[in-house]
Structure 1
């Protein structure tokens, strides 16, 4: 079921397969680019989320997918809800053969799922049935997975439960943030999605039902999920920081204000600091955990830009014995 390269079309002189691509954030752009570049398919339109406020002025800005489609001269559809009749009517009018999806961000109703003859095919950033849901990459890092990947599957009304067309694997590196890993998967997955469209187009690829074993869920990571517990082992602290970077951002409390933790390093030989206890030197900031210490490398104080932790510590003049996080009881 592993898909890596496209094969020559078996359809001879038949016209390209007509696609309507659905996606919203930057991570979906590589897949859209791969499909636009293919001479085997025609991206007739793009479906994306409506323009959203961004920046200090909160001006309405089109999604990265909408901007890329507009640059390529492709029709852009921005329904407030995919069940809106105007959108469904336009989708039926276009008459796509298949609708590839990458991080669209809205549930698709049965009325939309039934339009293309080959359905809607989602590129999901996990090895299904592991990590079904909105945040598979973050949860893979939080769980300490050493291997993850991406899968293409036909969308059903259930949550990421549809039969799988193809998979690729990707190792999770020890220093990977969710942003690092997602970027690699976005580009590798673009090739997987294009190969899946090729296999559907020439009739050589059939989806396989997901296993009932190994199912795990990956709900959206909340701000509270990103709150670092310094009584946890250092390995858990490191995973929370990496898994929640860049969003929503791991954080702790310092002097009553939120301090975002951008990058830490493990210090397995230092075990003399209590959980949350700070030790700031000229060029280092160490923090105790439930096991051994970690070093803060980059932090972001509230209302400021990211900075080196040692520079932050010099500015706030950390007192001996001072701590981050909630006070330790007992």
Structure 2
């Protein structure tokens, strides 16, 4: 089939590679417009767009997919199907109707669970033990279309959202190509999503990433892992924001008041509502990431100091 791929961030690259190695003809990539990045705020191509540029594949960057010029170019390219992975914009009905077999979206959850922009982060945040990926027919509703196929993935106790998303991006790429193969063969069947089990996964904000030391240790652990690598879990120390990497809950340790810091020879403990956690990586404002023990030595933490 002739396919047009829609996607933006680096998580789309396994799917693009799988498509490039499949029997389908990738005729164009649709991605979000170039965006300012870095200290110089220079316009930078999205990872999906840069991947296509390197291979001489046409890149389309509409500000909004409803633009008449964009939709006219889609009609000229005459795609049979449009696979989507993390595109980042709503596709209007007028564009959905252009490909013969519609648009099919690879979503990183077992629908109807965790519809929305951050399914992997919410699965980690809420302590799910199993998640997965779904390929479904894109329609006007938010991740509501009938599902062609799914796969499951265990969530490991130490998984960050980045770890889990990396695995799902690879396994999901194979699922996406398998669905496209079935659509081409005429054997694909899309099943309506059940009415029960619906949950939503809005994008996690910087405020969501603030660590709540008054939570139990398991909740502190989940929040930090869910916000790693983005938007980045943080707390406040001496009036300045400090970013933290994943922590390790400690079962056999004396209880500390929420946020209290205790520096030991080989580790730094922080109090929660239950048992303490051991700090991992710390990144103070304007500094490079470092181990918690190095941070504590350099900061010269005094007895009684704490995270706010």
Report the TM-score range of the alignment, normalised by the length of the smaller protein.
over 0.9
SS state at 2:95 partner: helix
Please identify, of 303-312 and 158-167, the stretch whose mean Cα deviation from structure 2 is larger.
303-312
Please identify, of 282-291 and 188-197, the stretch whose mean Cα deviation from structure 2 is larger.
282-291
SS state at 2:166 partner: helix
Shift of 1:271: 3.4
SS state at 2:274 partner: coil
Alignment deviations for residues 227-286 of structure 1 (CA, whole Å, 9 cap, x no partner): 111110000000001000000011111000001111211111113311100001232110
- 2:6 matched to 1:22? yes
- 2:22 matched to 1:38? yes
Gaps of 5+ in 2: none
Alignment deviations for residues 32-85 of structure 1 (CA, whole Å, 9 cap, x no partner): 11111112x111111001111112211111111111111122111011111111
Shift of 1:134: 0.2
CA distance in structure 2 between the aligned counterparts of 1:228 and 1:154, rounded to whole angstroms:
37
SS state at 1:300 partner: strand
**Which residue number corresponds to residue 205 of structure 1?**
188
Displaced runs of 4 or more, over 6 A: none
CA distance in structure 1 between the aligned counterparts of 2:175 and 2:307, rounded to whole angstroms:
44
* 1:118 counterpart (87, 98, 101): 101
Conservation of the 8 A alpha-carbon contact between 2:255 and 2:274: no
CA distance in structure 2 between the aligned counterparts of 1:137 and 1:281, rounded to whole angstroms:
34
TM score, norm. by length of structure 1: 0.92
**Which residue number corresponds to residue 245 of structure 2?**
262
Conservation of the 8 A alpha-carbon contact between 1:271 and 1:288: no
Conservation of the 8 A alpha-carbon contact between 1:146 and 1:173: yes
Conservation of the 8 A alpha-carbon contact between 1:300 and 1:306: yes
**Which residue number corresponds to residue 48 of structure 1?**
31
Gaps of 5+ in 1: 1-16, 326-330
Question: Which aligned pairs between 1:1-330 and structure 2 lie closer than 5 A?
Answer: 17-39=1-23, 41-325=24-308
SS state at 1:252 partner: strand
Alignment deviations for residues 82-139 of structure 1 (CA, whole Å, 9 cap, x no partner): 1111101100111111000000000111111110111110000000000000000000
CA distance in structure 1 between the aligned counterparts of 2:151 and 2:33, rounded to whole angstroms:
31
CA distance in structure 2 between the aligned counterparts of 1:236 and 1:272, rounded to whole angstroms:
16
TM score, norm. by length of structure 2: 0.99
CA RMSD of aligned residues (A): 0.7
CA distance in structure 2 between the aligned counterparts of 1:38 and 1:284, rounded to whole angstroms:
49
